[in-house]
Structure 1
Amino acid sequence: MLALGATPALADKISVAGENYTPTIWVDPDGCEHWVMDDGVEGYMTPHTNRQGIPVCRRGNPCGVMHSDQFFATNSARISHAGKARLAQFFASTGATAYIIAGHTDSRASDQYNMRLSFNRANAVAAVAASTGARIADVRGYGERSPIASNATAHGMAKNRRVEIICIR
């Protein structure tokens, strides 16, 4: 921060006293945990680097895959009572420090609709997690963009309609 009337050379020598810098932690889409302080200092949470000195990030492997047909009605982001109970038990038993919730759909409907539906379903699961005291690091909706099976068959589409829960330990 440059004080009024200060030159850039003087600005390097000015310090702000009495301010508290609180670190913030987030996980980017590649699974890298970062920290940043209010003064702009940023770093990676993962201390491992490859041979080129680039940080190696934790890849998020799902610790839970919930097939959305078991929890949601067609075209809905509302979780059934039985689904909420199963999810609450899951979050209470995993022992993770935080979670990333990612929603997915099959390829039926438009991309825009599927993106919104997958995000709303992920948010619904995150709300159940938060109600158990779980820390949510991120909520994502991928729509139909990350299929794990072919959308050419009913069985494949059912596999693609899912909510993945990534545990950060």
Structure 2
Amino acid sequence: MSPHVNRQGIPVCRRGNVCGVMNTDQFFATDKYNISRSGQERLRRFFSEASATAFVIAGHTDARASDAYNMRLSYNRANAVAKVAASTGARVVDVRGYGERMPRATNSTAAGMAENRRVEIICIR
């Protein structure tokens, strides 16, 4: 099973399918993609309790670094979350990094940048 995607390869999902949006600051140090122990445990609980047949994991960043850097960082963070998911037996069908390209809030304030630094876990039911 693979998710539906648009012409740019971005998963197309109804908002109800996003079962988890987690602020990456809760899991990662600045400019890092290794997940803290507490973050790993929280993610393990999430994947163990989620009622989905598969997951798509998408990483996002704020706009403070270059596009190329943010694309790589967001993908590495999403991949780190996917590894935790796989360790629980969860089925991950896609891992994507969007960098700063899909902001949820403005990047002109600290609060907005914090909201943009996130990992979205899309549930496929």
Do these two structures clear the TM 0.5 threshold for a shared fold by scoring above it? Answer: yes
Residue matched to 1:158? 114
The 2-side partners of 1:73 and 1:58 are apart by: 29
Between the two proteins, the alignment pairs up a number of residues equal to 119
* Correspondence 1:114 to 2:70: yes
| Match status 1:27 vs 2:10 | no
For structure 1, the 5+ residue unaligned runs are: 1-24, 31-56
| Identity across the alignment (%) | 66
Greater RCO between the two (CA within 8 Å, min separation 6)?
2
Specify which of 14, 23, 40 is matched with residue 59 of structure 1: 14
- Tell me the CA shift for residue 59 of structure 1: 2.9
Query: 3-state DSSP class of the match of 1:65?
Result: strand
Give the aligned partner of residue 33 of structure 1. none
Residue aligning to 1:6: none
User: Which protein shows a greater Rg?
Assistant: 1
Residues in 2 aligned to 1:80 and 1:130: alpha-carbon distance in whole angstroms:
17
- TM-score of the two chains, using structure 2 as the length reference: 0.91
- Counterpart of 1:91 in structure 2: which amino acid? F
Whose helix fraction is larger, Structure 1's or Structure 2's?
A: 2
Measured in 1, the distance between the counterparts of 2:89 and 2:2 equals: 18
Deviation at 1:28, TM superposition (A): 3.6
Contact 2:4 2:13 in 1 (8 A): no
| Structure 2 unaligned regions, length at least 5 | 7-11
Give the TM-score normalised by structure 1. Answer: 0.68
